[in-house]
A and B are shown apart, each in its own frame.
Chain A
Amino acid sequence: MNFLRVTLIRILYAAILLIAVLVLNFSLMHAAPGDVADTIAQAAGGIDAEALEQIRREYGLDQPFLVQLGRYIGNVLQFDLGYSYFYSDKVTNLILSRLPATLLLVISAQLLALVVGVVLGVFSARKPNGILSHFVTFLALFGYSAPVFWTGLLMLVVFSLMVPLFPVAGMRDVTIEGGFFVQALDIAHHLVLPMLTLASIFLALYSRLSRAAMMEVLGSDYVRTAKAKGLSPRQVVYKHALKNALSPVITLAGLQLSAVVSGAVLVETVFSWPGLGTLAFQSILARDTPLILGILFFSALVVIVGNLLTDLALRLVDPRVGGKR
């Protein structure tokens, strides 16, 4: 009961936050020089001032700011994010068509980083002066300091050009024919390098955090109690310590959802991965205001929903979050 109430309140907050984001995005874009009419004019190869005015009137761009804002929010609430003049398609369609590629990339990278990061963290925490522990420190340093596009380019040069194991760009090879399985294999083949690149940032974060969390938990009183009960080292580490150490890692993973879109922009651009990131990049180059706004809104949606889900996931591992279940 309580759980439901807390969740509903969280959803309400999330909705308010989303509207605030909408207002902010729209105001910022409005303040920036150039508008949709300019974009259309550009697409049409230049038109005269009168035609420009005509377009402005048609799209309501001559209306006062508040009126435009109100109409925009109204539209968004009806799931209408506007129309992209650059791509000649609805923004929602564009986003939805690019979403699967990004989700595939981001989720696989996150999962890889989480699993490997936690495993590295746990093993190195058990031997704080071992080789693995130093490796984690090094990895974290590397992950923090190496720019992701640089890592990506390095991967490309090494594993695609010098040792041609993986394709250079894209998500699928159009020349390959075959059933679902063949296609899936082809996509997986294309996925490896961008996924590794994106995972490298998260891996640094997760391995360090889980090592720190694990070290702290291993020194805690309840772990001493678990040992005093005569439990095996495996039970002490994986049953009693790990579940506690996971809370901060899950929280961080949730927060990283925000980095998903921004990180994906770079990785997708380097590998020409046909996802939201490349779409965002192109929309900015083309000054396609509705599309930029749409992607911004969508990113905010991802982050806010992600935080909600993180909260729910935390409740599953930690009964103290959010009171009695």
Chain B
Amino acid sequence: MTEALLKVENLRIELTTRAGVAPVIDNLSFELGHGENISFVGESGCGKSMTALAIMGLLPEGVGRVASGRILFEGEDLTAASDSRLRDIRGNEISMIFQEPMTSLNPVYTVGEQIAEVLRAHQGLSARAARDMAADLLDAVRIPNARARAGDYPFQMSGGQRQRVMIAMALACRPKILIADEPTTALDVTVQAQIFDLLRDLRRDTGTSIILITHDMGAVAEMAERMIVMYAGRNAEIGPVEQIIDHPRHPYTKGLISCVPHIMATLTEDRPDLTEVPGIVPGLREFGQDRCLFASRCAYRTEQCLRQRPPAMAFDNGQLADCWHAETL
């Protein structure tokens, strides 16, 4: 196998809150190959967005920081890169679309300008060329009458259209990696399916690698080759999507999957989101403890689980599960 495009090694992110310092991300490792699509799933608050922001170098200032570990992009460690180097990469080689399409666009500039701006910043396009290309990009994300709509302000567009604008903006410079953080959570079901269709087609056309953060298991099954299940800032299970769905090795994954009746349903059908496994996620304060954080909700718990943090158990098929009893599951 060739060198991975992105390689995250033993990443630890600490948040400084009023209650103290807590590791929101604790010893997370994964790789993303060229043209690959990897999906992050896990309950709200498990640190998916934090991981994404860390890759972008956009952890909340003064609150979050990378405490240890490396983020290697084409072999270059982003956690050690200068601000100006990170700015060259952001929006150009790695770009990101966010969970909140309604508020992620600047209300006082036209959408065309907001797209053109990236092109001017990274590709050195002239104002006119950038404007033309922005209209082409809007057309590529299937906004009807793109040339005229480029002059619209965000408030004149629906949530789905705004997310398309965000996608156009993110793909403007043909990035190597696109991070999509729950791109459809705020949208209604039919629009969700359209956005996923769009992402899949764009990926086919551009070969961009995608990190897809989602609650939608159907989307994972349809879009991604590999998936990471996260729990309380830690890896629960990582591996090829089909293998994991076929035979989950972590009790949490098992719970998540059994919640979704027809994972392989087609994208346009109405699919339920990941319903929660009974019990609640531990609070941020408990994150660092040396035990299995899932123990309070786990039916397979033994005494050992409470005493020591489970190591990653590797399987021949590439699956990796952080559970003491992964082998017996």
Chain A residues with CB under 8 Å of chain B are 220-222, 224-232, 235, 240, 243-244, 317-320, 324
Known: A224-B104, A244-B107. A230 touches B117 (CB 8 A): no
Once the chains bind, are B87 and A231 in contact (CB under 8 Å)? yes
Asked if B81 lies at the interface with its beta carbon under 8 angstroms from chain A, I say: no
Minimum C-beta distance from A286 to chain B (A): 50
Please determine whether B153 and A319 come into contact, CB atoms closer than 8 angstroms.
Answer: yes
In the bound complex, residues from chain A placing their C-beta under 8 Å from that of B107 are 222, 244, 318-320
6 closest cross-chain pairs (CB), A and B: A230-B90, A229-B91, A230-B91, A221-B103, A222-B106, A230-B87
| Cross-chain contact A228 with B156 (CB below 8 angstroms) | no
Contact residue among B90, B153, B156 (Cβ-Cβ distance under 8 Å from A227): B90
Size of the B side of the interface (Cβ < 8 Å), in residues, is 29
A222 adjacent to B103 (CB under 8 Å): yes
Which of B230-253 touch A at CB < 8 Å?
none
23 residue pairs of the A-B complex, CB under 8 angstroms, read A221-B103, A221-B104, A224-B58, A225-B98, A228-B56, A228-B90, A228-B98, A229-B95, A229-B117, A229-B118, A229-B121, A230-B87, A230-B89, A230-B118, A230-B122, A231-B87, A243-B108, A244-B106, A244-B107, A318-B108, A319-B108, A320-B153, A320-B155
Which residues 114-173 in B have Cβ within 8 Å of A in the complex?
Answer: 117-118, 121-122, 153, 155-156, 166, 169
Contact B153 A229 (CB under 8 A): no
Q: What per-residue 1/0 map shows which CB atoms of B86-111 lie under 8 Å from chain A?
A: 11111110011010100111111100
Interface of chain A, helix or strand or loop or mixed?
helix
**Chain A residue, CB-CB nearest to B105:** A222
B58 and A227 contacting across the interface, CB-CB below 8 Å: yes
Distance between Cα atoms of A73 and B13 in the complex (Å): 72
Partner of B98, one of A221, A243, A317, A324: A221
In the complex, A250 Cα to B87 Cα: how many Å? Answer: 32
> With contacts A221-B98, A224-B98, A319-B153 known, is A229 near B90, CB below 8 A?
yes
When C-beta atoms are compared, the residue in chain A nearest to B102 turns out to be: A221
In the complex, chain A residues whose CB is within 8 Å of the CB of B153? 319-320
What CA separation (Å) do A227 and B58 show in the bound complex? 8
* Known contacts A229-B121, A229-B169, A232-B87; A221/B108 CB under 8 A: no
Q: Hey, which chain B residues are within 8 Å of A220, CB to CB?
A: 103
Q: Which residues of chain A have C-beta atoms less than 8 A from B86's C-beta?
A: 230
Distance in Å: Cβ of A127 to nearest Cβ of chain B: 11
Contact of A225 among B88, B121, B166 (CB under 8 A): B166
Interface centre among A228, A231, A240, A318 (most CB of B within 10 A): A228
Return chain B residues, CB-CB under 8 Å to A230. Answer: 86-92, 118, 121-122
| Bound CA–CA A230/B90 (angstroms) | 5
**How many Å from the CB of B151 to the closest CB on chain A?**
10
- B96 touching A240, Cβ below 8 Å: no
Q: In the complex the two chains form, is A228's CB within 8 Å of B87's CB? A: no
Contact residues in A for B88 (Cβ distance below 8 Å)? 230
Across the interface, name the chain A residue whose C-beta is closest to B153. Answer: A319
Give A319 to B156 CA distance when docked, in angstroms. 10
Is A228 in contact with B96, judged by CB distance below 8 angstroms?
yes
CB–CB A240/B106 < 8 A: yes
Which residues of chain A are within 8 angstroms of B122 by Cβ–Cβ distance?
Answer: 230
Contacts of B109 in A (CB 8 A): 240, 243
Specify which chain B residues have a CB less than 8 angstroms from the CB of A320 in the assembled complex: 107, 153, 155
Q: Would you give the 0/1 interface string for B39-75, flagging 1 where the beta carbon is closer than 8 Å to chain A?
A: 0000000000000000010100000000000000000
Taking CB as reference atom, which chain A residue is nearest B155?
A320
Cβ distance A104 to chain B, nearest Cβ, rounded Å: 33
